[in-house]
Structure 1
Amino acid sequence: MRVIRGLEKARNVFSGPVVTIGNFDGVHLGHQVILSRLREDADHRGVAAVVLTFDPHPVAVLRPEAAPRLLMTLGDRLAALSRCGVDATVVQRFSKDFAAIEAEEFVSRYLVGVFGAQKLVVGHDLNFGRGRRGSVESLVEAGGRHGFAVEVIRPVVVEDIVVHSSVVRRTVASGDVALAARLLGRPHIVRGRVVHGSGRGRKLGFATANLRPKTPLVPAEGVYATRALVDGRTVDGVTSIGHTPTFGGKETVVEAHLFMEACDLYGKMMSIRFIERLRDQRKFDSPQALAEQIARDVERARAVLAASSA
């Protein structure tokens, strides 16, 4: 997939592409339906399937106090878009100046002037332009004037929940990673580098890999059945997120006990898929009591992961 940084750099690059617009945080099931239709229609027309996305997230610019912790880094979002068959993604830097562009100017300058789009495939809740005044309805009207088609994709509903990035973020933040996986179409992934920790896990008989997350949003404090990709291997395990209350810790840490022989993972990148929440964090009376609980966590995680293909 080609990545183009900035709309002006995309001028005259494409010939009548099919385009979609959005933040695509998480690339969840709703996004996947849009992207599948984008790919299908682009193939039918023999043109490129193009995504226009934004960085940073618009809320982080317009209302920084309400900026969401995102499900993905930009790099992970681009990788996910590529896996969905997108030919090119244009990443537009979002700023207050960009946000001030009127909806009609956005259409004429970019959708027509830069892309020369034949068709837009968009979600039902699309808003764009100054004050979010541009809507699906106004986009359809603009298409009639400028000569491009617009297809509006209906929302995806899972278990009576309308799938939306904000809903998935709340679900992950609450620790319900099993539901989050059903909304995403895959488990939520936290990626980061393995760093040195306190070494307490090893002393308890359960060595852990401590992760410094790059992924902005990690699940709520708790203990989870997880599946990690590290050093070219997929390894089951138990991951604890919390501040080590038994030892009086204050800093939140992500520690993965992997079901594999001990080896040196320091400095390596690791991706952790969160399959199911096992329990809350809690303070134990002694390290021995904690070790006994970890043994029970491991046993339960093995059963959960044996039944999961995620």
Structure 2
Amino acid sequence: MHGLGGDCGDAQRGARGTRRRARRLTLAWSAFVPDLCEELTAYRPDRPAAVAFGVFDGVHLGHRHVLATLVGAAKQRGLAPVAVTLANHPFSVLRPDVELRMLTSLEERLGLLADSGVAAVVPVTFTKQVSLLTPREFMTALRDCLGMAYFAAGPDVTLGHNREGTLPVLEALGEELGYTMECVEQFTQDGGPVRSTAVRQALDGGDVASAARMLGRPFALEGPVVEGEHRGGGLLGYPTANVGVGPQQAVPADGIYAGWLLHGTDRLPAAVSIGHKPTFHEGGPSVVEAFVLDFDGNLYGEQVKLEFVERLRGQEKFDGTDALIAAMRDDVTRTRRILALPQEAS
């Protein structure tokens, strides 16, 4: 079950006290944050804008709920709906030692946001200078450089330096700066909020089915087909396409999965292995490889996309190749069943 959770009312009631503490500040944006203002102005619509802002990693159902609210409100008010997203994660600047695990690449994220019905998607660069902007300064930039007249956000929104731009603060700033602030109730599913963190947690457990429910589509990895060890086709009888995955890409837990390989207009059934190949290696590199069922073409160098449907089992170390081949044969049989494909004639 899914629905709306979280209380916008509590956060909004705190706006009155914040409003009394607010002070006015006028900034020359072209001089103060020239790069940010230039990026915003490049996408400024020909009429006032309704804006939603965030990283939007994964563009999951919670994000899409905010964006749907934004598009509906913009239509009612005669505004242009605009999604402003960060081209790079704040941790890449503030905590570069943290290993990022993004659910979507920037290119995929921009495409998903564009498909949400907004008039424009604005990627802005997160810099140290941007990180120091107060909530008032950042919202003023959205108003002056993008033409913002309406802002939509969830009840747990935080932005600006030290994450001081909570909902009550943004409510108060709306009255001060002249934009309408709308709190969008938290979207929930199966009794919990849908967040990017929850999707990552599902992937960490290999639960790609739950991740797909939160995303509203199958979780996918995209990359080029690269050279492997050439062991699959010769020694094992199951040639695989090794997919190169970026270092910041979130990946499901090690294991074997039923899924689909997308190449151009083709959508091909596949059994996908993620892991370190423990039967052959001790502590080797993690590899993503797909055995494409009923396919004998050459995919080397091609860009492909892997969609994950269901986890079959964890990664295992077998006593020898015979045991591994028997397990792979069973993986293919189960993949056919899960994807509703006819079983291969024996």
The question of whether the paired residues in 2 share the 8 Å contact of 1:238 and 1:298 is answered with yes
Does 2:202 match 1:171? yes
Does 2:301 match 1:257? no
Aligned pair partner of 1:155 in 186, 196, 202: 186
- Could you tell me how far apart the structure 2 residues matched to 1:71 and 1:223 are? 19
- Could you tell me how far apart the structure 1 residues matched to 2:321 and 2:264 are? 30
Following superposition, the deviation at residue 10 of structure 1 comes to 2.8
Aligned pair partner of 2:68 in 8, 29, 36: 36
Does 2:85 match 1:53? yes
Secondary structure of the residue aligned to 1:64 is: coil
Which residue in 1 is equivalent to 2:135? 103
Secondary structure of the residue aligned to 1:65 is: coil
Which residue in 1 is equivalent to 2:274? 241
Which residue in 2 is equivalent to 1:198? 229
The question of whether the paired residues in 2 share the 8 Å contact of 1:187 and 1:273 is answered with yes
The question of whether the paired residues in 1 share the 8 Å contact of 2:151 and 2:179 is answered with yes
Deviations 1:184-238 (A, max 9, x none): 1111110000012112111212111110013711111110111110132001111
Following superposition, the deviation at residue 74 of structure 1 comes to 0.7
Aligned pair partner of 1:11 in 37, 41, 44: 41
Secondary structure of the residue aligned to 2:244 is: strand
> What number of residue pairs does the alignment pair up?
302
Does 2:256 match 1:226? no
Change (3 A) 1:67 1:136: farther
- Could you tell me how far apart the structure 2 residues matched to 1:238 and 1:87 are? 39
Which residue in 1 is equivalent to 2:124? 92
Which residue in 2 is equivalent to 1:112? 143
- Could you tell me how far apart the structure 2 residues matched to 1:130 and 1:251 are? 39
Secondary structure of the residue aligned to 1:156 is: strand
> What value does the CA root-mean-square deviation take over the aligned residues?
1.7
Deviations 1:117-172 (A, max 9, x none): 12111122211111111111111111112221111111111112211111212221
Does 2:304 match 1:273? no
Judging by fraction of residues, say which structure has more strand: 1
Aligned pair partner of 2:163 in 110, 132, 145: 132
The question of whether the paired residues in 2 share the 8 Å contact of 1:7 and 1:91 is answered with no
- Could you tell me how far apart the structure 2 residues matched to 1:198 and 1:107 are? 52
Q: Which amino acid aligns with 1:266?
A: Y
Which residue in 2 is equivalent to 1:65? 97
The question of whether the paired residues in 2 share the 8 Å contact of 1:21 and 1:52 is answered with yes
* Structure 1 length-normalised TM: 0.92
The question of whether the paired residues in 1 share the 8 Å contact of 2:155 and 2:186 is answered with yes
Unaligned segments of structure 1, at least 5 residues: none
Deviations 1:14-64 (A, max 9, x none): 221110010000000100101111122222333321111113211222122
Following superposition, the deviation at residue 67 of structure 1 comes to 4.5
Q: Which amino acid aligns with 1:289?
A: A
- Could you tell me how far apart the structure 1 residues matched to 2:49 and 2:308 are? 37
Q: Flag as ranges the 4+ runs of structure 1 deviating above 3 A.
A: none
Q: Which moved more, 1:267-276 or 1:298-307?
A: 298-307
Following superposition, the deviation at residue 6 of structure 1 comes to 4.4
The question of whether the paired residues in 1 share the 8 Å contact of 2:52 and 2:70 is answered with yes
Secondary structure of the residue aligned to 1:114 is: helix
- Could you tell me how far apart the structure 2 residues matched to 1:22 and 1:10 are? 14
Unaligned segments of structure 2, at least 5 residues: 1-34, 342-346
